[in-house]
């Protein structure tokens, strides 16, 4: 699917996920993004995922990177909620470990 990027997400995604904005304050242009990530959120690190572009004429991938994660709460076995500097997100794990 293209060259392996700086974060290694293109060739070896570990998880298929859905990221949903729970509380505003985010620069996320839509309230929900589906895509892939190689790592779940970790406190102190930004969360990074890739999805389909909003406008395919501009590029072939959409990259979403949050500010560093401040806290993480398990919702259930396949979902968690995490807070960054300005936003709260829910991450549903659709496929993967």
| Banded model confidence at residue 29, pLDDT cuts 50, 70, 90 | confident
Q: How far apart are CA 31 and CA 18, in angstroms?
A: 10
Other CB atoms within 10 A of residue 64 CB: 20
What value does the mean pLDDT take over residues 50-56? 84
- Asked, for residue 74, whether it belongs to a domain, the answer is yes
3-state SS class at 2: coil
Long-range contacts from 3-7, C-beta under 8 angstroms, 24+ separation: 7/38, 7/48
- Asked, for residue 7, whether it belongs to a domain, the answer is no
Backbone angles phi, psi at 11, to 5 degrees: -95, -25
- Asked, for residue 68, whether it belongs to a domain, the answer is yes
- Asked, for residue 90, whether it belongs to a domain, the answer is yes
The secondary structure of residue 69, as a DSSP letter, is B
- Asked, for residue 77, whether it belongs to a domain, the answer is yes
- Asked, for residue 73, whether it belongs to a domain, the answer is yes
Residue 47: predicted pLDDT? 95
- Asked, for residue 6, whether it belongs to a domain, the answer is no
Choose between 56 and 33: higher pLDDT. Answer: 33
Residues contacting residue 75 through CB under 8 Å, at least 6 positions apart? 81, 90
Structure tokens at 29: 């242009």
How many domains are contained in the chain?
1
Residue 46: predicted pLDDT? 96
- Asked, for residue 4, whether it belongs to a domain, the answer is no
Q: What is the percent of the chain with per-residue pLDDT over 90, rounded to a whole number? A: 53
Structural domain containing residue 45: 15-96
Residue 9: predicted pLDDT? 44
In this model, does residue 11 exceed pLDDT 60?
no
What value does the mean pLDDT take over residues 28-49? 90
């Amino acid at each position: 699917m293209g060259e392996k990027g700086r974060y290694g997400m293109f060739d070896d995604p570990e998880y298929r996920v859905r990221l949903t904005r729970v509380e505003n304050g985010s620069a996320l242009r839509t309230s929900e993004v589906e895509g892939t990530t190689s790592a779940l959120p970790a406190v102190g690190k930004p969360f990074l995922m890739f999805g389909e572009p909003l406008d395919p004429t501009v590029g072939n991938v959409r990259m979403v990177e949050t500010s560093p994660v401040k806290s993480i709460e398990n919702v259930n076995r396949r979902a968690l909620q995490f807070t960054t500097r300005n936003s709260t997100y829910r991450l549903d794990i659709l496929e993967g470990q």
